[in-house]
Amino acid sequence: MRPARFISLEGGEGVGKSTQLRALGAVFRARGMEVVETREPGGSPGAEAIRHMLLTGAADRWSARAEALLFAAARADHVEKTIRPALQRGAWVLSDRFLDSSRAYQGMGELTDEDILTLHRIGSAGFLPDRTFILMLPEGEAESRAHSRDGDGSDRIGGRDSAFHRRVSQSFARFAAIEADRVRPIDASGEAAAVTARLLRELEDLLP
């Protein structure tokens, strides 16, 4: 019997992470697996409270350092209260964003990638997914998907300018290039079912 696994889906705004998370969850359940679908920031009562603080309010509500610490604190609670217990009872965990979002969004300005990894070592003992997928879409396509879902509304971080979001996407692509064992790029274009099939191909070696 193969062990339960922790999988994260990553990428910029509107690339299809939540859609694919639900699709993978449905496929796994149909195979008789117990699945926990979760998200960041959030995924436990404490982390959901922090999510509200992080994603609402004025753009300058938090300094870069406070923001990174809040994401790390939310993640520590999520790992401790939701992810580890689920894995221990044999459930697969699918998370919509995890550490790599902090590296891409908070680790390329005032703070470095090394700073974010240090916070993660302190908060969550460096706990990592077994596999991480970076959903990749051309900039215009992701923006138009997000716009048709949200209209002009977006949260405190999603509303940052396009130069910021371009740097985020470039950071995600770099993680896939330099951490190929864990982090796999996935072409997120085309029909949702085709994207799900690409993800499942990249999971064949882990699935029971």
Ligand X SMILES: Cc1cn([C@H]2C[C@H](O)[C@@H](COP(=O)(O)O)O2)c(=O)[nH]c1=O
Which spans of this chain sit near ligand ATP (rule: CB under 6 A)? 13-19, 145-146, 148-149, 158, 191-192, 195
Q: Which is nearer to ligand X, 32 or 153 (CB)?
A: 153
The two three-digit tokens of residue 92, written as one number? 């697969």
User: Does 175 engage in binding with ligand X (CB under 6 A)?
Assistant: no
Residue ranges in the chain assigned as alpha helix (H): 17-30, 45-55, 64-78, 84-88, 99-106, 113-124, 139-150, 162-178, 192-201
In the complex, what is the shortest distance from the CB of residue 196 to ligand ATP, in angstroms, rounded to a whole number? 9
Site for ligand X, residues 10 to 29, rule: CB under 6 A: 13
Cα 189 to chain center, whole Å?
18
Site for ligand X, residues 125 to 164, rule: CB under 6 A: 155, 157-158
Size of the site for ligand X (CB under 6 A): 14
Task: Tell whether residue 80 is among the known ligand binding residues.
Answer: no
Contact indicator for 166, 139 with CB cutoff of 8 Å: yes
Q: Which is nearer to ligand ATP, 99 or 195 (CB)?
A: 195
| Residue 41 near which of ligand X, ligand ATP, none (CB within 5-8 Å, type-dependent) | ligand X
DSSP 8-class letter at 30:
H
Closest C-alpha among 169, 149, 140 to residue 19? 149
Order across the sheet with 35-39: list the strands.
35-39, 92-96, 6-10, 131-136, 183-187
The two three-digit tokens of residue 132, written as one number? 């991480």
Q: Which is nearer to ligand X, 16 or 91 (CB)?
A: 16
Task: Tell whether residue 11 is among the known ligand binding residues.
Answer: yes
User: Which SS3 state, helix, strand or coil, does residue 51 take?
Assistant: helix
User: Does 41 engage in binding with ligand X (CB under 6 A)?
Assistant: yes
Q: Which is nearer to ligand ATP, 16 or 107 (CB)?
A: 16
User: Does 38 engage in binding with ligand X (CB under 6 A)?
Assistant: no
Q: Which is nearer to ligand X, 169 or 196 (CB)?
A: 169
| Residue 123 near which of ligand X, ligand ATP, none (CB within 5-8 Å, type-dependent) | none
Give just the sign of the alpha carbon dihedral 159, 161, 164, 168: positive
In the complex, what is the shortest distance from the CB of residue 59 to ligand ATP, in angstroms, rounded to a whole number? 17
Task: Tell whether residue 109 is among the known ligand binding residues.
Answer: no
Q: Which residues are annotated as a binding site for ATP?
A: 11-18
